[in-house]
Amino acid sequence: MQRDRRRFLHLASGVAMLPAVSQIARAQAYPTRPIHFMVPFSAGPNDALARLAGKRLSDDLKQPVVVETRAGATGTIGAEAVVRAPPDGYTLLFTVDLPITMAPALLKLNYDPQHDLIPIAAVVKSDNVLVVNPGTGIQSMAELVAAAKAKPGTLTFASAGHASPAHMCGEMIKRQAGIDMIHVPYTSAATAMNAVLAGNVNMFCGPIGVALPQIKAGTVHALGVTGSEPSPLLPGVIPLVTSYPGLVISAWYGLFTPAGTPASVINTLHDEFKKIFADPELQPTLLALGLTREWVSGSDLVQKIANDIAKWRDAIVTANIHAE
């Protein structure tokens, strides 16, 4: 009798452990079905980078990776969709930093990017470059500042729209250099660059990838890049931060998962992405997109996000910029 009772208790305890064992098995087996990358912008480097990484991740993990675009509201619509998704590693946010770092200072969000999303890693960055129409006769930052101070409020700078990174770049230059310039918003980086080429505005502080063909052609003149060091895309152009401390504006691209995702899943994705973006064969493709590799692990990215949110909030409040 006692022997039968012991056998029953042993079987019962085994059954009670089944849910936990099942959860561990599922985590260890990840992935067992398609993974979805949510991209919160409809075109450009973000979409191209997600598809490139998705193809490599699919090859490595032997599961399809589906890239889904859900654009709008500075990328916050796509970001919120991931926040609301099950935290199982099958719906991920692959985004440029805007809905994570700039949006909190501009918009009333339905999510907290610092608590509702877990950063897996940032993988690449994109610096801006300040370019001027040669017709201005301006050849350096010193000449630009002198011209702006000689005739305050006459020089103009284009942007890809109100509260866009290019707009913020222009405002930060104004603040750092102590000059007054007029902001002229356009609908995209391409239209802003065209306005500079046409001589409708004097300058544009936009993505290197957009400006590079015109710089090489000599149709615009580069005054400086906004990274903390020279860009491999423009090795002869000095960083603006050498003259104006704090004038560092680099967009970064990274992968996020909803809070609550199992650590084993996060570790798998982290390791896969580190391997993918360490491949030297990827470098020419990244450079063609105007991107350079910059690996930031999830733990370090947490602090970077906090610093960037504070930086953008300060810049936006100082320039009195509001969402439109």
Amino acid at 290: G
At 123-175, the pLDDT tens digits run 999 999 999 999 999 999 999 999 999 999 999 999 999 999 999 999 999 99
Report the SS3 class of residue 223: strand
The Cα-based distances of 207 to 8, 58, 106, 142, 225 in angstroms read 68, 29, 21, 22, 9
Residue 250's DSSP bridge partners are 127
pLDDT at 22: 43
Give the sign of the dihedral formed by CA 270, CA 271, CA 275, CA 278. Answer: positive
Residue 206 · residue 178 · CB < 8 Å: no
CA dist., res. 289 & res. 48, Å (int): 8
pLDDT classification of 16: cutoffs 50, 70, 90: very low
Contact 253, 122 (CB under 8 A): yes
> pLDDT confidence of 221, banded at 50, 70, 90?
very high
The dihedral through the CA atoms of 294, 242, 320, 222 has a sign that is negative
Query: Taking residues 230-239, what's their average pLDDT?
Result: 94
* pLDDT at residue 203 greater than cutoff 60: yes
Q: Coil, strand, or helix at residue 89?
A: coil
Count the neighbouring beta carbons within 10 Å of the beta carbon of residue 204: 33
For 76-88, what is the mean pLDDT?
98
- pLDDT at residue number 201: 98
Could you tell me if 53 and 45 are in contact, meaning their C-beta atoms sit under 8 angstroms apart?
A: no
Q: Does 19 have pLDDT greater than 50? A: no
Check if the beta carbon of residue 179 is closer than 8 Å to that of residue 207: no
Beta pairing partners, 253:
96, 124
C-alpha–C-alpha distance, residues 221 and 144, integer Å: 12
Instruction: Quick: pLDDT tens for 300-312.
Output: 999 999 999 999 9
Q: What is the mean pLDDT of the chain?
A: 91
Sorted by sequence, the CB contacts under 8 Å of residue 141 that are 6+ apart come out as: 130, 177, 223, 224, 240, 243, 244
Model confidence over 89-129: pLDDT tens digits?
A: 999 999 999 999 999 999 999 999 999 999 999 999 999 99
> Helices then strands (H, E): number in the chain?
11, 10
Separation of alpha carbons 85 and 77, rounded Å: 13
Nearest by Cα to 136 from 219, 23, 215: 219
Does residue 265 register a pLDDT over 50? yes
Cα–Cα separations (whole angstroms), residue 118 to 36, 76, 254, 264: 16, 16, 11, 13
- pLDDT at position 167 is 95
* pLDDT above 90 coverage of the chain, percent: 85
DSSP string, 99-161: IIIIHHHHS--SS-TTTSEEEEEEEEEEEEEEEE-GGG---SHHHHHHHHHHSTT--EEEESS
DSSP string, 269-303: HHHHHHHHHH-GGGHHHHHHTT-EEEEEEHHHHHH
| pLDDT confidence of residue 28 | 58
> Residue 111: is it exposed, middle or buried by C-beta count within 10 angstroms (0-12/13-18/19+)?
buried
Q: Please name each of the domains of the chain with its CATH number.
A: 35-125+251-318 (3.40.190.150), 127-242 (3.40.190.10)
